[in-house]
Structure 1
Amino acid sequence: MSTPKILVAYGSRNGSTAGIAEMIAAAFEKRGLEAEVRPAGQVRDAGAYRAVVLGGALYNARWHPAARAFARRHAGKLAGTPVWLFSSGPLDDSADTKEIPAVRHAADAMRKLAAREHVTFGGCLTSEAKGFIARSIVRNGRGGDFRNPERVEVWAAKIAGELA
């Protein structure tokens, strides 16, 4: 009998949060844990997993709508399941230099899901970004990749240790 998978679900508009979800799953698999990465809106039965990591991109101090909907839709099924949350978004090194508290929607999800922890990682916004505002940010020189793979790895390793 195989060990049930860990779900790493995410809400992402331009791929940065999806990339962090992939990093988390890779860190789990490096430690012998099976993980599945899915867009939050495509998850039908979150209760089928042994643990859940849910991430949401930050836009204008709001957590991605798909991550918020996931928390509402699956809260009942996840009672008693270990859950961790992450946000991605700051387009600077602030996520690496200080603790950034969960925005309101992520804090609400923490309560609904009885999440063990929330962490914020830097985001990534490139010239391929969707949307006028995102492209304007990049055009004005404020884009870039501020994700920190080492920090993501350390956080995922901590979760893996708790699940081992």
Structure 2
Amino acid sequence: MTTDVLVAYGTTNGSTARIAEAVAEVLDKEGLTARARPAASVEDLSDYDAVVVGGALYAGHWHKDARRFLRRHRRALAGRPLWLFSSGPLDASATERDIPPVPALRRAMTRLSARGHITFGGCLEEGAKGRIAGMIVRNGKGGDFRDVTEIEHWAAQVAQELSGARKD
């Protein structure tokens, strides 16, 4: 039996999308069937046995598309294994310590019985959309702080949990 996993994401500049794609690749390598899709484009979860949702962090808020995804699909999510990730710190803090989810996301995790959450470093580079993003890059505070090894390790843990669930 295969497990079909949706990896939905909310992103503005593409960094969270690339994390979601990396998660889906690892899930595929681990024997699952995973698909990364923009959260705003997902209309139905009936084809998926499990869901991972990622959202970029902006000024202490999870990306609006990721938040709306959780609200719109709350009933379907309640019956599926669910993991969440955030991306955003533009420094090494995400690799140095566990960064908890923002308060609204923490409440959603409880309501939806999410199995886990992790915060990954973000990426903001030249050409980023938005006035504030542009200012951050111009002031030398941008860069790529994603830790590919950490992303792959976390995705492998999700796959392991799902594979264990399939055997039950």
- Structure 1 distance, partners of 2:64, 2:162, is 28
**What do you get for the CA RMSD once the two structures are aligned?**
1.1
Q: Deviations over 1:15-65 (max 9, x none)?
A: 010010011001111111110111001111124311000000000000001
Q: Tell me if structure 1 keeps the 8 A contact 2:89–2:121.
A: yes
Listed as ranges, the matches of 1:135-154 within 5 Å are 135-154=134-153
Q: Deviations over 1:106-150 (max 9, x none)?
A: 213212321001100000000120011001100000000000000
Partner of 2:117: 118
Q: Tell me if structure 2 keeps the 8 A contact 1:24–1:152.
A: yes
Q: Tell me if structure 2 keeps the 8 A contact 1:6–1:51.
A: yes
Between the two proteins, the alignment pairs up a number of residues equal to 163
Partner of 1:16: 15
Listed as ranges, the matches of 1:18-33 within 5 Å are 18-33=17-32
- Secondary structure of the 1:76 match is helix
- Structure 1 distance, partners of 2:116, 2:2, is 23
TM-score, with structure 1 as normaliser: 0.96
Amino acid at match of 1:103: V
Partner of 2:2: 3
Structure 1 unaligned residues grouped into runs of 5+: none
Partner of 1:69: 68
Structure 2 unaligned residues grouped into runs of 5+: 164-168
Which has the larger displacement, 119-128 or 105-114? 105-114
Amino acid at match of 2:72: R
Partner of 1:58: 57
Q: Tell me if structure 2 keeps the 8 A contact 1:9–1:54.
A: yes
Which has the larger displacement, 103-112 or 26-35? 103-112
Runs of 4+ in 1 over 4 A off after TM superposition: none
Partner of 2:92: 93
Q: Tell me if structure 2 keeps the 8 A contact 1:71–1:112.
A: no
Deviation at 1:4, TM superposition (A): 4.5
- Secondary structure of the 1:77 match is helix
2:157 aligned with 1:158: yes
Which has the larger displacement, 39-48 or 139-148? 39-48
Q: Tell me if structure 2 keeps the 8 A contact 1:79–1:113.
A: yes
Q: Tell me if structure 1 keeps the 8 A contact 2:55–2:85.
A: yes
TM-score, with structure 2 as normaliser: 0.94
Q: Tell me if structure 2 keeps the 8 A contact 1:72–1:112.
A: no
